[in-house]
Amino acid sequence: MTIKKIIYFILLLTLCVSVQAQETNDFHTDYNYLKDPITRGKLDFIFGYQRLNGNTFEFGIASGHRGYEGYAIVYSNYHLTTEHNFNADQYTLGTKVGYKLSILFCDFTGQAIYYTDFDKSNLAIRPEIGLTFFGVLDLNYGYNFMTINNDLNKLNGHLISLRLTIGKGSTGVL
């Protein structure tokens, strides 16, 4: 008898509850984010210092944009930079291409780096993760995964990087 009462009660509830879909125009499938001035890529400049078997300085440019669907706490860029590694015994140049995504205080970066000492060369893949101040000032931990086994493998390993990104995409200045 109690099972019948429970079934009747559930049936009564389902018949009394009215569910309606709300009309909204918040989602636009034809919206072009590339034409939006908030999300369009703008020129940024990157300056950095890294500690990787010596002092390494980084300089470069980026195409960055702040905001994703109106959220200014998100910043991302595609960047092209050079690393200048001043080691005690030799100078090494690294040309780097990568992508960075910063959300509030978290930073995620992926890069491919071509290292050369003008005698030998090597290619590295470097993921980085760290802290950021809205994509402008980053403190990251990274690891170089070298693809060729040669004398430039001394650049393989752990590193800490401090990076400043300024420009129209990141800070709105310059």
Could you report the per-residue pLDDT of 163-174, keeping only the tens digit for each? Answer: 999 988 777 666
The distance from CA 7 to its chain's CA centroid, rounded to whole angstroms, is 53
Question: Is residue 153, in this structure, part of any structural domain at all?
Answer: yes
- Domain membership of residue 130 as a residue range: 41-167
Residue 32: inside a domain, yes or no?
Answer: no
**63 confidence band (pLDDT: 50, 70, 90):** very high
Question: What radius of gyration, in Å, describes the C-alpha atoms of the chain?
Answer: 25
Assess if residue 21 is contained within a domain: no
- 163/50 Cα distance (integer angstroms): 8
Q: What per-residue confidence (pLDDT) applies to 45?
A: 94
Looking at residue 31, its pLDDT comes to 47
- The pTM is what? 0.73
**Based on the structure, what is the number of domains in the chain?**
1
Torsion region of 135: left, alpha or beta (phi above 0 gives left; psi -120 to 50 gives alpha): left
Residue 12 is assigned to a structural domain of this protein:
no
Does a structural domain hold residue 137?
yes
Q: Is 29 a member of any domain?
A: no
Mean pLDDT of all residues in 90-104 = 92
CATH number of the domain bearing residue 67? 2.40.160.20
**Of residues 4 and 79, which shows the higher confidence score?**
79
In a domain, 144, yes or no: yes
Q: What is the bridge-based pairing of β-strands 157-167 and 137-146?
A: antiparallel
- Per-residue confidence (pLDDT) for residue 8, from 0 to 100: 64
Any domain includes 142 = yes
> What is the residue-wise DSSP string for the chain?
-HHHHHHHHHHHHHHH----PPP-----TT--GGG-TTTS-EEEEEEEEEESSSEEEEEEEEEEEEEETTEEEEEEEEEEEEEEEE-SS-EEEEEEEEEEEEETTEEEEEEEEEEE-SS-EEEEEEEEEEEEETTTEEEEEEEEEESS-SGGGGG-EEEEEEEEEEETTTTS--
Query: For the segment 11-31, what is each residue's pLDDT rounded down to a tens digit?
Result: 655 555 555 555 555 544 554
